[in-house]
């Protein structure tokens, strides 16, 4: 039996170790292809747990976390994430940023991803001044060699949650499962007015 719970602040900390392993496992797959390390993941999560605006939805099967999805006030995000918003003259304080969603494959298609959006949007509504939510998705060519034959683009899933793609693009560098060095990836922002 799966359930999804939402955690903020200090309540995130006890989940960090098991969540980091889960995130690493799903990040290695399509579409992230991120070859991460447990220590950098734990470092990220520890910093995240200290933020007063951070929230994380976690899906559990019994006691075991099987999926997670983060959010944070855009004002607290890293410069490389906020750059396109600042360049476009947008007010960061009006946005809540939704970070990565990860869910083990066997739990997909059961409504957990929908719940991740509902819970994060409910959290965003509690943040003073926030009017919109946003996330960015890595852009991968259809012809990418590591694209699974059965991979379904999430564009329609996001549109059905009320999100629209924007012209805002950020770049992030990470070491991929198919590279020896860090690779620059382009990610497109999608937004929704709450
Ligand atoms: C993105 C991801 C979290 C989506 O999660 P998911 O749990 O498979 O998605 P859901 O099951 O909630 O939704 C998929 C569809 O099933 C439907 N659905 C199936 N069972 C449902 C239920 N019991 N309750 C509600 N919706 C249900 C949803 O409504 C949705 O259809 P719709 O878009 O037509 O409304 C998941 O695919 C994943 O982890 N992918 C790999 C990592 C990734 O790509 N992350 C995002 C990159 S930015």
**Distance from the alpha carbon of residue 155 to the mean position of ligand 1, in angstroms:** 11
Whose CA is closest to 71, among 117, 21, 5, 19? Answer: 117
Phi then psi for residue 156, to 5 deg, are: -70, -35
Share of the chain above pLDDT 90, in %: 84
Q: What is the pLDDT of residues 99-158, one digit of tens each?
A: 999 999 999 999 999 999 999 999 999 999 999 999 999 999 888 999 999 888 899 999
Which residue range is the domain that position 185 belongs to?
2-193
| Global pTM exceeds 0.85 | yes
**Distance from the alpha carbon of residue 114 to the mean position of ligand 1, in angstroms:** 6
User: What pLDDT, on the 0 to 100 scale, is given for residue 124?
Assistant: 98
* Helix or strand run (H / E) with residue 94: none
Q: What is the pLDDT of residues 144-193, one digit of tens each?
A: 999 999 888 899 999 999 999 999 999 999 999 989 999 999 999 999 99
Name the residue at shortest CA distance from atom 14 of ligand 1: 109
- CATH number, position 140: 3.40.630.30
**Distance from the alpha carbon of residue 141 to the mean position of ligand 1, in angstroms:** 22
> How many domains, in total, are found in the chain?
1
Pocket test for ligand 1, best of 4, 109, 152 (most atoms within 8 A of CB): 109
Name the residue at shortest CA distance from atom 9 of ligand 1: 113
Could you write out the three-class secondary structure of 149-190? Answer: CCCCCCHHHHHHCCCEEEEEEEEEEEEECCCCCEEEEEEEEE
**Distance from the alpha carbon of residue 26 to the mean position of ligand 1, in angstroms:** 15
For the CA atoms of 19, 119, 111, 174, the dihedral, rounded to the nearest 10 degrees, stands at -40
Reading the block at residue 2, the tokens are 């799966």
Closest atom of ligand 1 to CA, residue 136: 48
Q: Binning pLDDT at 50, 70 and 90, where does residue 44 land?
A: confident
**Distance from the alpha carbon of residue 115 to the mean position of ligand 1, in angstroms:** 9
User: What pLDDT, on the 0 to 100 scale, is given for residue 141?
Assistant: 87
Ligand 1: which residues within 6 Å by Cβ? Answer: 26, 31, 101-103, 108-114, 137, 154, 157, 160
């Amino acid at each position: 039996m799966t359930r999804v719970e939402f955690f903020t602040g200090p309540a995130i900390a006890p989940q960090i170790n098991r969540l980091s392993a889960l995130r690493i496992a799903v990040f290695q797959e399509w579409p992230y292809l991120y070859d991460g390390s447990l220590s950098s993941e734990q470092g990220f999560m520890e910093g995240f747990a200290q933020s007063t605006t951070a929230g994380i939805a976690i899906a559990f099967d019994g006691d075991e976390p099987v999926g997670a999805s983060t959010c944070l006030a855009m004002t607290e995000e890293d410069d490389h994430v906020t750059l396109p918003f600042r360049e476009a003259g947008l007010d960061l304080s009006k946005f809540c940023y939704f970070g990565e969603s990860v869910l083990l494959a066997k739990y997909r298609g059961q409504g957990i991803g929908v719940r991740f959006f509902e819970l994060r949007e409910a959290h965003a509504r509690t943040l003073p001044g926030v009017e919109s939510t946003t996330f960015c998705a890595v852009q991968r060519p259809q012809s990418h060699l590591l694209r699974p034959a059965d991979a379904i683009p999430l564009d329609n899933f996001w549109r059905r949650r009320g999100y629209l793609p924007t012209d805002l693009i950020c770049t992030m560098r990470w070491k991929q499962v198919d590279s020896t060095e860090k690779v620059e990836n382009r990610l497109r922002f999608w937004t929704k007015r709450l």
